[in-house]
Amino acid sequence: MERFIRFYKTALDHIIALNRSGFNIQEVYAKILLTKILTPYPTSYVDLQSPFGAGISVLVYNYNGDVYASDESRMLAEMNDTTFRFGNVHQDRYESIYNSAAFSKYMAAACNESLPGCAECALQGYCGADPVFHHAVQGDLYGHRPTSPFCFKNMEIIKHLLRLIDSGDRDTLRMFFAWVRNMGLSDIREETPACA
């Protein structure tokens, strides 16, 4: 994961340089985080929601009618792990799926406001809980933050973005707002004061 973060920062630097040279290109994961950091608007990206969006904002129906929290949940089932199978659309009603024991157990671990290591984290508002990931990787719905690749990756990327926002470089900040507002750097330069 450290290697990935190093690569991510190098790639982001390159993308920022491309934008400065007049070529508009967005880094979409950064854009999702920046929307949460710089605006009052939500994103529809379920991985960074609390409560975790998979199962609430989205349900996955398999070919046989089985209902899962997400595609990752369905993939686990293909490996004989049906932890995130909440019911079957041919047999169960909407109410029984959402009131199932499997769903309740899953949702109890889906709010980072109440997860160990997340509850007191300063970056909580930008991040999400991912019980499916932690179940698959750490064998525990709640997960262990100090060794969680999910936590490490998001913490590093969010902190890197905050450092760039706070760097005092106006064009980087303009570019971040341009991504969030789906416009080019040159367009946003025209709208903002030409500050020194």
Partner 1 sequence: MRLKTAGTPVNVQEPVIGRVCVREPEERSEAIFLGPTSGRGGEDFLGYRGILSGSVPADVSSFAAVPLIHSLREIDHFSEGDIVVLQPNGFVRTLYRPASQHNALFLTERCNSNCLMCSQPPKDHDDTGFFTALNLELIRLMRPAPSYLGITGGEPTLLGDGLFRILAALRDMLPDTHVHMLTNGRAFAWTDATRALAAVAHPRLTLGIPLYSDSAVLHDYIVQAHHAFDQTILGLYNLARWGIQVEIRVVLHRLTTPRLPELATYICRNLPFAVHVALMGLEPTGYTPRNRDTLWIDPANYQRELERAVEILTLSGMNVSIYNSQLCVLTPALWRFARRSISDWKNIYLSECTACSKIEQCGGLFQSATQMHSQYLRAL
Interacting residues toward partner 1 by CB under 8 A: 38-41, 170, 173-174, 177, 181, 188, 191-196
Specify whether the CB–CB gap between 61 and 89 falls below 8 A.
yes
Nearer to partner 1, 99 or 192 (CB): 192
Nearer to partner 1, 11 or 122 (CB): 122
The Cα 5–Cα 11 span in angstroms is: 10
Least distance to partner 1, CB of residue 43, Å: 15
Residue partners of 192: CB distance under 8 A and separation at least 6: 174
Nearer to partner 1, 68 or 126 (CB): 126
Specify whether the CB–CB gap between 188 and 178 falls below 8 A.
yes
Least distance to partner 1, CB of residue 56, Å: 25
The Cα 64–Cα 88 span in angstroms is: 8
